Amino acid sequence: MASFSTTLASSMMLTLLLLSFCEAKDIVVGGKTDAWKVPSSESDSLNHWAESSRFRIGDSLVWKYDAQKDSVLQVNKEAYVNCNTTNPIAEHKDGNTKVELDRSGPFYFISGVKGNCEKGEKLVVVVLSTRHRLISPAPSPMEFEGGPAVAPISGASSLKGGLLVVLAVLAWGLF
Ligand SMILES: *[C@@H]1O[C@H](CO)[C@@H](O)[C@H](O)[C@H]1NC(C)=O
């Protein structure tokens, strides 16, 4: 039988884990300082990095770069595809740029340095809709109702769902 403290400890860890899923994060583009540059190869590209990362509404992208040498332009899809730096949605050149991902869907960024976007210094980040936040693919309502013992947790109810799971674990440990 699990002791109370063991149960409590594991519950707390579970809660922390769930909170870490829910919490809005600052995500450093490329995972490190000075990643905003012309990539040396395809596998070094920021889009390669972006494909292996998850972005959710409320998260912020953070670019760290030398403000003397580069800038970040948020652009529309057309300007992204054509590397058109003429009329960006927003221009950032402070060397420590933060952009909040305040909606679902794609966000497009290119370098403001002439020629760099063409050489691959560009980034598209796709923010998942709330439906897909924690578990993907999202279960249909049908699956949810008739579904497995562990209920899928989604969107706005994720925190509540997380606490329910913790309570269930506690109850299981105690009785
Ligand atoms: C770049 O975009 C601007 C407007 O946003 C447009 O007037 C211009 O023709 C575009 N340039 C190229 C090369 O597509």
Closest CA to ligand 1's atom 13: 84
CATH class for domain 24-133? mainly beta
| Ranges of each domain in the chain | 24-133
Cα separation, 98 vs 63, whole angstroms: 6
Encode pLDDT of 131-147 as tens digits.
Answer: 654 554 444 444 444 43
Encode pLDDT of 107-126 as tens digits.
Answer: 999 999 999 999 999 999 99
Residue 60, phi then psi, degrees to nearest 5: -125, 140
In sign, the C-alpha dihedral spanning 45, 46, 47, 48 is positive
Please work out whether the CB of residue 15 comes within 6 Å of at least one atom of ligand 1. Answer: no
Please work out whether the CB of residue 76 comes within 6 Å of at least one atom of ligand 1. Answer: no
pLDDT-wise least confident of 22-31, 43-52, 104-113, 149-158: 149-158
Q: How far is the CA of 112 from the centre of ligand 1 (A)?
A: 14
Its pTM surpasses 0.75: no
Cα separation, 25 vs 27, whole angstroms: 6
Q: How far is the CA of 24 from the centre of ligand 1 (A)?
A: 35
Closest CA to ligand 1's atom 12: 84
What pLDDT score was predicted for residue 152?
A: 44
Q: How far is the CA of 108 from the centre of ligand 1 (A)?
A: 16
Q: To the nearest whole percent, how much of the chain has pLDDT over 90?
A: 55
Q: How far is the CA of 153 from the centre of ligand 1 (A)?
A: 44
In sign, the C-alpha dihedral spanning 159, 164, 169, 174 is positive
Return the structure tokens found at 38.
């012309």
